[in-house]
Chain A
Amino acid sequence: MQRGISYLLPEDKKIMQEAADQYIFSANEIIIKQGDAAQGIYIMNEGTIIVEQDGMILARLGPGEIFGEMSYIEGKPVSATIVSESESKIALISVPKANELLTTYPDLASRFFKTLVVNLSSRLRNTSKRLAQIRLGRGEDAPSSKLAKVNMMTKNQIPIELVNTLSEIKLALEKTTLKLQEHKINIDKAYDDVEIVLNRAVEIVKEYTNEENIFEASYSDLLAFRNEEELEIGIGALIFRELFSTLTLSNTMARLYARPRGVPEDYEAGNSIRENVPTGDGQLGGLVDKWFLNRPICHGRRAEASFVKKYLTNQKQITQFRFNICDLASGTASTTSAILNQFPNGNAICIDRDSQSLQYVLAEENDLKLMDRIKAICVDISELWSESSEIYLETQDIFLALGLFEYLNDQEVVDLLRLCTKKMNPGGALLFTTILPSHPDLILMSHLLEWRVKPRNHQQLKKLFSKAGVSIKDKLIIIDDDNFISYGIYVS
């Protein structure tokens, strides 16, 4: 219950402790099983406990926190299993004693219930906010956050040159398919053809959505009353509709576009990029997939693990002892797996809101015998800094935020930076990557895959660190690479 505001006074806690029976639970011991009735109100004195379902952590509580209070009040069985994560000392106020306590000490009862109500209210407000976003179709949680993209431009605003170029592109792809079917060209030549044509497609999106051409389109029908953003979307949508059937032959792009888990980079898409084995449908599917997997965005994602490994290899003072990694919005957790494989002293917490992704991660780690070193917490990372957070996070040596900042707005990045710096051990580090505004695939991502991100340059990143109240002098290094990705290291 202490996750959030507490109105309980030290003397209240003392009275509660006196009324409680003390228990010691060993690591991994079940405290309450899902469906069992709670025995009363539990107070954590030492250690940590986790609330889990299907091996995944939904909440994580540390010393001083109270749990079981809801079940006590409602008189209903608990909805998830509670397990002692490490050896834990827990005080239990049994139901009869709790009843007696709250009757005997009305002031304590009042503060107890006020704390309960305020925290419940805060959690309800957060839930309502997220639900409202979903209902309004906003945010990544929304069941369908794709735009209809129709009616964005009038027929007079469609550049005829663009229509002709698109016809040429489609014709070229058809010809390549036919030649492949008739064995007139080999697969390498076909790939060369596909690469030229699809690169041209990306170029025309870039060309026709640039400021000058959008201005020309605006001028072409002055009474269309379409603003520049609408015209840009309209041009992108026109190209997207013409190329959709080709692009979605690619396994990776089809998955990124369809986003069955509500986010573009879910486990399957992330894995496809990581494994880099082109697959797809029909004659061209594999070739289109290969073309996409060769794009800078995919190279950048694959390079993330080596960036982290390289950093840790040089950090002997961290890796020679037991060290903790917190992988934020971990996705496939491929980098974390690679680190744990290389550094036997490492332990990791993977935090992601996609339960399927985490289940796959856990299954993979089981196969790799890493299960006892990795924990999966299924929450949106914004829960970590919310007032009513149910995630107790101990201090960490390494925070990983790989490809995460581009999905967060400025305030969320600031909140995340505050959390990381607060929970970072001395000598620890936050390692992050983020897409640069000059990234050549941004056009492809936003217009052809509906994969919208917020790129940032060094100056923008530094501004966010400064807004988070974090001193960056001699502590922050940001380096760009050929894939238009910024690699950042912030050392505490």
Chain B
Amino acid sequence: MIPENKHHPDIHNYDDIPIIPTRVIHADLARKKFGEKFDILAPYYMYGDPLADKLIHRLNELPAGQGTKLVSQAMHSGLSSVHRPPKELIDFFEAVEDVPLWIDWDLFEKGGSAVLRAGHLAIIVLGAYSLPLSYASPDGNKPLLFTKKLIDRATRRLVETSRFILEICRPGGLQQGHAGYQITLRVRLMHAQVRRLLIKRGIWRMADWGMPISQSDMLATNLLFSVLMIDGLKKLGFHLSEEEIHAVMQLWRYAGLLMGIQENLSVITFQEGYRILTMMKDTSAPPNEDSIRLVQALRQCPNDISISMFLPKTVNKLINADLFQAFLFAVTRYLIGDTMADQLKIEKNHFHYFFPPVFAGISLVSFLSQLNSIINTMTVKEGVKVWDRVVELSKHLPN
């Protein structure tokens, strides 16, 4: 039985809905390997985000345009500034504005700076590691496949995700009313709206695919930005201190709470997160045609993105979009491994021969830059500029 407090307002009959969807496979093996963790996590594939789902349901009932105003007001100036808010808005923002005791803004700033200072590398990890792995799960990527626009707009998705990460990582980004806070809540409500649209349209197979953008899916996405970002950067040679790794994890733990992930699913350490991601991968079906389609759509990014805005001028003269795309795919293959790369039809090329010396250089430079606080501050500034340039690209992309 799905507990009543986890019900979605647009699902009126839970009789035929199982506790764990069929998308979760190899349950026995997972139990052996991960113990009770599997049975704790698996039912969360059936849960959405009740507070956001109820709010969305209510906002869609309001006269056209009123919902947008209410939400913007509450996000920007807090719940107390909203005149006669609906109950669902109160419930949602009371939960969001209830800051946990463990919050440490200084620690968050350290975590954010670590990602921002990685600049180009972090964006490469995002495009070549986090996103391809998120597309690899055939059931996790389902909500993207119900609209033509989301499949074809790979570059916009990359740029918007970059903006999401940038604003969260900026100092104080997740504080109430700040850009990171607002963008996180917007994404949360967008997820709730996607859930509503898919359920209402009657095309979503709950028993097989679970809840659209379930708690487990949200957790996986959150870990892509924390655990996989750390892992990817480390694999590319970028040096991160233990304190920085801890800070990145805590920053995304709070971002996850704001995104609607339940507190009991919060991941505290990198190791724990990595283990959960492995468990999710082990219990998911291998990539299918849709996964390949989504990953291959990333090929268009170097064409859409004016490389001159992304790469230093000297490199820009030597490289074109095709070459850059081949380089990114080589990085992807290196990061996700040959098996997954073959499943996603990411072709082999010879770029990987250059990786060892390049990564060694990255490791040395990033290690040295950490030793001096002035150099470190400068690196962060330069990194932010790179992120800003990528985010700026959204102005030049079609809607």
Contacts and interface: CB of A to CB of B under 8 A. Distances in A.
A215 B203 CA distance: 12
Nearest to B70: A225
A227 B190 contact: no
A152 B62 CA distance: 12
A156 B189 CA distance: 17
Interface string B157-198: 000000000000000000000000000001001100110010
B62 A225 contact: yes
Interface string B133-151: 0000000000000111110
A156 B190 CA distance: 14
Main secondary structure of the interface of B (DSSP, over half): helix
Contacts of B186: 223
B197 A223 contact: no
A113 interface: no
Interface string A205-227: 00000010001101110111111
A226 B65 CA distance: 7
The interface centre, meaning the residue of A154, A223, A227 with most chain B CB atoms within 10 A of its CB, is A223
Contacts of A215: 146-147, 197, 201
Contacts of A222: 189-190, 193-194
B320 interface: no
A225 B149 contact: no
Contacts of B65: 151, 226
Interface in B46-105: 56, 59-62, 64-68, 71
A128 to B, nearest CB: 27
B339 interface: no
A230 interface: yes
B372 interface: no
Contacts of B147: 215-216, 219
Interface residues of A, number: 21
Nearest to B61: A227
A216 B146 CA distance: 9
Given A223-B186, A223-B189, A227-B60, A218 B68 contact: no
A218 B148 CA distance: 12
A220 B62 CA distance: 19
Interface residues of B, number: 25
A230 B68 CA distance: 14
Given A211-B201, A215-B201, A230-B64, A223 B190 contact: yes
Interface string A138-158: 000000000000011110100
Contact of A226 (B64, B146, B148): B64
A223 B68 contact: yes
A156 B399 CA distance: 7
Interface in A134-182: 151-154, 156, 160
Given A156-B399, A215-B197, A220-B149, A225 B190 contact: no
A152 B68 CA distance: 12
Nearest to A227: B60
A219 B64 contact: no
A226 B397 CA distance: 25
Contacts of B61: 227
Contacts of A230: 64
B149 A216 contact: yes
B197 A225 contact: no
A219 B146 CA distance: 9
A219 B150 contact: yes
Contact of B71 (A152, A160, A223): A223
Contacts of A154: 68
A152 B190 contact: no
A219 B399 CA distance: 12
A157 B80 CA distance: 31
A151 B66 CA distance: 10
Contacts of A234: 64
Interface in A231-279: 234
Nearest to A219: B147
A228 B194 CA distance: 13
Contacts of A226: 60, 64-65
A225 B201 contact: no
A427 B64 CA distance: 53
A230 B56 CA distance: 15
A1 B399 CA distance: 69
A160 B149 CA distance: 12
B388 to A, nearest CB: 23
The interface centre, meaning the residue of A153, A160, A218, A225 with most chain B CB atoms within 10 A of its CB, is A225
A218 B64 CA distance: 13
A441 B56 CA distance: 34
The interface centre, meaning the residue of B146, B147, B148, B190 with most chain A CB atoms within 10 A of its CB, is B147
A225 B67 contact: yes
Nearest to A152: B64
B197 A218 contact: yes
A224 B69 CA distance: 10
A112 B345 CA distance: 92
Contacts of A151: 64-65
Contacts of A211: 201
Contact of B197 (A156, A160, A219): A219
Contact of B149 (A152, A219, A223): A219
Nearest to A226: B64
Nearest to B148: A216
Interface in A70-100: none
A359 B184 CA distance: 66
A211 B193 CA distance: 16
Contact of A225 (B56, B146, B194): B56
A31 B310 CA distance: 96
Given A215-B146, A216-B149, A218-B197, A225 B68 contact: yes
Nearest to A233: B64
A155 B4 CA distance: 38
Contacts of B399: 156, 160, 220
User: Would you list the 4 A-B pairs with minimal beta carbon distance, nearest first?
Assistant: A225-B67, A222-B190, A225-B59, A219-B147
Given A152-B64, A223-B190, A234-B64, 9 more contacts: A151-B64, A215-B147, A219-B146, A219-B194, A223-B186, A224-B68, A226-B65, A227-B60, A227-B61
30 contacts: A151-B65, A152-B64, A154-B68, A160-B399, A211-B201, A215-B147, A216-B149, A218-B193, A218-B197, A219-B146, A219-B150, A219-B194, A219-B197, A220-B399, A222-B190, A222-B193, A222-B194, A223-B186, A223-B189, A223-B193, A225-B56, A225-B59, A225-B60, A225-B62, A225-B66, A225-B68, A226-B60, A226-B65, A227-B60, A234-B64
